[in-house]
Amino acid sequence: MPLRSLSISIILIALFLQASNPMHAQEVFARFTVNSSKVSTQIDKKIFQTLQNGITNFINNRKWTNDVFQPTERIQCSFVLNIEQDLGSNVFKGRLTVQAARPAFNTAYDSPLLNFQDDNVVFKYIEFQPIEFNENRVQGNDPLVGNLTAILAYYINLILGIDYDSFSIRGGEPYFLRLWNIVNNAPDSRDISGWKSFDGLRNRYWLAENFNNNRFALMHDALYAYYRTGLDVFYENEEAGRTGILNALSFLQAIQSENPSAMILPFFFQGKGNELVKIFSKANGEQKTRARELLTKLDITNGSLYKELR
């Protein structure tokens, strides 16, 4: 081979290896949207587009784990930040809706992993300021500046924890521990809420507490049973898949019997009502009856949906 052709071949191979190196593929692919329709027109709305672009890059370009992900394995998730108020001095208050999904094995179907709305998002943002997060120094120099990235890092680790749990038993433990670390070192200010036990019964504190508390250890088994032994086997054996999901519901029933008001139970069911009805609508009589009994007790919010399972 001529020397020039050999050199070109080496360069092409190097470029191919660099492009295909999975170390360049991050763990999540997030769509981050800022909705500022409720904010006064006196503000230059370009700041929110800059924020949207900056946060999108922050989430998608950061390495959140030590594992190797192929591009097709990236977890699909979305964040919608609705700005509710301009509090002045570049401080804003909003609501954050977080959603993530996981594909069922050998299908084109994506099952909800997380569907949650956080109503306690207060942050400070000056256009073009660096968007950073240090896991060992969550607070930063200004609590209001660091609060938004702390919240986003919290939910990314929550998504990772649930996703890892869905593939291996207790696989998400490192990411749930990170949740607890973020909570324990969260930004602290009189305007910030959601990080403390006394901020309410259903907030970031209690969700992290539940996922790290041994009283709720069966939740990790429920996640594995629901996805790995349930949805992932549907393509080859629907009855076995439904049995796996019934096992998951049984784990959740055990949690409810000991902790009837725990935040983690309604959190699990958010976004899953219609999915569960479809799963059991074609079940045999015994499975359908069992599913209806469990679901009407576990997920009262969607009780009317489960009445269809007759």
The pLDDT tens digits of the residues spanning 193-237 come to: 999 999 999 999 999 999 999 999 999 999 999 999 999 999 999
User: Percentage of the chain surpassing pLDDT 90?
Assistant: 82
Q: Indicate if the pLDDT at residue 28 is higher than 80.
A: yes
User: Percentage of the chain surpassing pLDDT 70?
Assistant: 91
Amino acid at 121: V
pLDDT band at 17 (very low <50, low <70, confident <90, very high): very low
Tokens of 146: 């660091």
Per-state percent for the chain, helix, strand, coil, to nearest 5: 50, 15, 30
Q: Indicate if the pLDDT at residue 1 is higher than 50.
A: no
Nearest to 169 by CA among 117, 129, 211, 220: 220
pTM: 0.90
CA 189, chain centre distance (Å): 25
Q: Indicate if the pLDDT at residue 240 is higher than 90.
A: yes
Mean pLDDT of 53-57: 97
Average pLDDT, the chain: 90
CB atoms within 10 A of CB 223: 25
Q: Indicate if the pLDDT at residue 123 is higher than 50.
A: yes
Distance in angstroms (rounded) separating the CA atoms of residues 76 and 79: 11
Tokens of 188: 């602290």
* Residue located via tokens 């890059």: 57
Provide φ and ψ at 164, rounded to 5°: -65, -40
SS3 99: strand
Residue 225 and residue 248 in contact, taking contact as beta carbons nearer than 8 Å? yes
- Provide DSSP, 261-272: T-THHHHHHTTT
Nearest to 143 by CA among 190, 96, 93, 83: 190
Mean pLDDT of 271-284: 95
Q: Indicate if the pLDDT at residue 3 is higher than 60.
A: no
